[in-house]
Amino acid sequence: MIESVNVEFKELDRESRELPSSTAKELISFANTEGGSLYLGIADDGSVIGTDDPEDVMGRLTSLVHDAILPDLMPFIQVRPVKMEGKTVVKVTVSIGTERPYYLKKEGLKPSGVYVRRGSACFPLNEAGIREMIMETSGKSYEESRSQIQNLTFNSLKNELKSRSMNFGHSQMRTLNMIGEDGLYNNLALLLSDQCTHTIKVAVFQGNDGSIFRARREFTGSVLKQLNDVYEYIDGRNETEASFSGLLRTDQRDYPEVAVREALLNCIIHRDYLPSGSTIINIYNDHIEFLTLGGLVSGLTLDAVFLGMSDWRNPNLASVFLRLGLVEGFGTGVRKIIDSYSKSACAPKFQAVGGAFKVTLYNRNEKTADYYSGDLISEPRTQYTVNNVPRDELADEILRLAEEKGTITRKDVQDRFRVGSTKAFLCLKILCDSGKLTQQKMGKQSRYSIISR
């Protein structure tokens, strides 16, 4: 015999009589893979060493299985002494278990505790593999399968429910389908818990092509906390531009709030949580990209989505969001995003590929727009100039403000006209370069005044 995917040899220490330290890992790997036989008393090269006290070895082996491995592996193990080359060897036959994954009790359901057989060796199984094995064995969806983490807290969920005058306790967990038939937390509970292992990563770039990186944040915690934190982060960069028609002023934010909200909700409710990767949001000067793992649910096409059809990948999570009033109904998110751009020259873009879904929102106040058809339209807004000074309403109003106050700061412009710091600085710089304003440099507190003629 030689070692293989279902055969393993272990030599016993005749003095200590202790089982090899990797014995439990080998048994777990057999139970999690195809089953197999572990021979105690044979060296790695196949030479038979034997054991002086097989009864003691079998007793130690039984205790190890009982004390070190979960779930109970005893029904799937047979231990017996066998004669080989005139010596006694302990043969441990392991059948593939029905409650996989089996794992080291002291390590829990994580790679350091779950092992599988690959060739003639055992290897730790990664988190994605563990989740797949749980779903395969239970026959349940991801959110219904048992959570690998059971020590969970729900502060964010409690706060959300409390703000809506809703109670939270064991009965509410049952109602929300956070507890499985075995009385343990499932993955829906994990997603709603403060210990949620999935994250959202947001990157901010200077310009429109991602060549210059400005900032990066990773948002953790309950998916409810991530929803609030990420929306607030994006909202802080969603600037407002003012336009005037006579005396009538109209404010327009770069991105419709409802579009940002629905795109973010889509990232959380519809993503495939089986892969361990993060949801990605990229913020550029002229657009925001929301990239979600999972793509469209099987059988659903992009055309069907535009018609208002929807199929929840995570129905229980969607039900929680519906109960909290975070979503209004089924299949309305995409339509809301499209409608929010109905009066804009640019339109959102939706892309579905294998394993991923992407929503692109375009900045309504930028000079270029990528239309829904996918064609890039490069049509800069007309810039009327007199003596090289932009004669748009904002430049004129800044000059009036400087004349009124004597000197102004960039923050004065931001506060008065509700524009971002970049827009305010750019307008002030243009006015200075054109000889309309002069600058007294003092960092962020630099002051600007009208040049006397």
Which of these ranges, 189-203, 273-287, 417-431, has the smallest mean pLDDT? 417-431
DSSP label at residue 286: S
Task: Give 71 or 424, the one with higher predicted confidence.
Answer: 71
Q: Per the structure block, which two tokens stand in for 291?
A: 């990239």
Q: Has residue 184 got a pLDDT over 80?
A: yes
**Residue 288 to residues 204, 243, 280, Cα–Cα distance (Å):** 9, 23, 11
Contact 187, 144 (CB under 8 A): yes
- What is the predicted pLDDT for the residue at 390? 45
Alpha helices in 18-99 (DSSP H): 23-32, 54-68
Q: Which pLDDT score is estimated for 392? A: 54
For the domain spanning 200-377, the CATH number is 3.30.565.60
Mean pLDDT of 391-395: 62
The pLDDT of residue 18: 83
Residue 389 pLDDT class (50, 70, 90 cuts): very low
Average pLDDT over residues 238-258: 83
Q: What would the mean pLDDT of 211-234 be, rounded to a whole number?
A: 94
CA distance 446 to 439: 7
Range 151-180 average pLDDT: 94
Nearest by Cα to 263 from 311, 198, 333, 356: 333
Q: Which residue type does 360 have?
A: T
Q: Is the pLDDT of residue 387 over 50?
A: no
Place of tokens 């009589």: 17
> Is 137 within 8 Å of 151 (Cβ atoms)?
no
**H-type helices in 36-178, by residue range?**
54-68, 127-138, 155-163, 170-175
Nearest CA to 27 out of 107, 127, 85, 96 is that of: 96
The answer to whether the beta carbons of residues 293 and 280 sit under 8 Å apart is no
Asked if the 7-125 domain carries CATH number 3.30.950.30, the reply is yes
* Strand blocks (E) in 26-158: 36-40, 69-70, 77-84, 87-94, 103-104, 115-118, 121-124
Lookup: tokens for 288:
């925001």
Tokens for 121, please give them. Answer: 């060796």
Q: What mean pLDDT comes out for the span 15-22?
A: 82
Cα–Cα–Cα angle for 32, 37, 43, rounded to 5 degrees: 120
Per DSSP bridges, beta strands 279-283 and 200-206 are: parallel
Radius of gyration of the chain (CA): 32
| Lowest-confidence pick of 38-42, 301-305, 381-385, 403-407 | 381-385
Q: What is the mean pLDDT of the chain?
A: 86
Contact 322, 196 (CB under 8 A): no
| Domain residue limits, the chain | 7-125, 138-192, 200-377, 385-450
Crossing angle for the helix pair 257-269 and 315-323, nearest 10 degrees? 140
Q: What percent of the chain has pLDDT over 70?
A: 91
pLDDT in tens, 90-145: 999 999 988 899 999 999 888 999 999 999 999 999 988 888 888 788 778 889 98
What architecture (CATH level 2) is domain 385-450? Orthogonal Bundle (1.10)
pLDDT band per the 50, 70, 90 thresholds, residue 388: very low
Tens digit of each residue's pLDDT (9 = 90 or more) over 398-449: 888 888 888 998 888 888 877 776 677 777 877 887 788 888 876 557 888 9
DSSP-assigned beta bridge partners for residue 369: 377
Least confident stretch, 74-78, 253-257, 308-312: 308-312
Structure-token pair, residue 380: 């800069």
Predicted confidence (pLDDT) at residue 231 exceeds the cutoff of 50:
yes
* Strand locations in 172-239 (E): 200-206, 212-219
Of 92, 108, 104, which is closest to residue 28 (Cα–Cα)? 104
